[in-house]
Chains A and B, each alone.
Chain A
Amino acid sequence: EAGVAQSPRYKIIEKRQSVAFWCNPISGHATLYWYQQILGQGPKLLIQFQNNGVVDDSQLPKDRFSAERLKGVDSTLKIQPAKLEDSAVYLCASSSPGGGTRGELFFGEGSRLTVL
């Protein structure tokens, strides 16, 4: 079974530029999450999708961050314009509500963003 795919793995941009990250969850997983992990900290939930609907985006800085999951499968997270404090690893995860993996989040390897 293929895992959660993310791209790009690394991205370096200047402040005020824009960037987009892509995530393809595990096949059949209805729930998709974007987390921000700043160096030395735990992952912070940015947005949670259930199929193509938003369940929780309370911690998403909506003035600069946006995310979509138009067809309920893959998702894109965009930052525009980027700030220095956006330097972090952006982790995508997916989950399935039932079965033996109930409650478990499956994470991708992350996209590391450096803003100069």
Chain B
Amino acid sequence: SQQGEEDPQALSIQEGENATMNCSYKTSINNLQWYRQNSGRGLVHLILIRSNEREKHSGRLRVTLDTSKKSSSLLITASRAADTASYFCATDPNTNAGKSTFGDGTTLTVKP
């Protein structure tokens, strides 16, 4: 069963704009992670946010977590063409620790 679901499925923006993608999940979690995948490559870890945290920053990335709504958002500010990739959220549920579940991803295209 799929725990995390990203929204939108696809997003196309101009370079310099901000990109926001969302992740919703179904059960209580220990943490939520965001990953990036460039075409033909493995996933790259971006950021981890724990269930007792509400917001984290890493460079141009800002992640929020709302456990009451079971949702998270990833904001990429001042996007670049190199940010073009698929972005996945992964949740580590309380009841199934160690079995991170990935959503289907958001495909981001940043036009130069």
A, B co-complexed = no
Interface residues of B (CB under 8 A from A): none
Interface residues of A (CB under 8 A from B): none
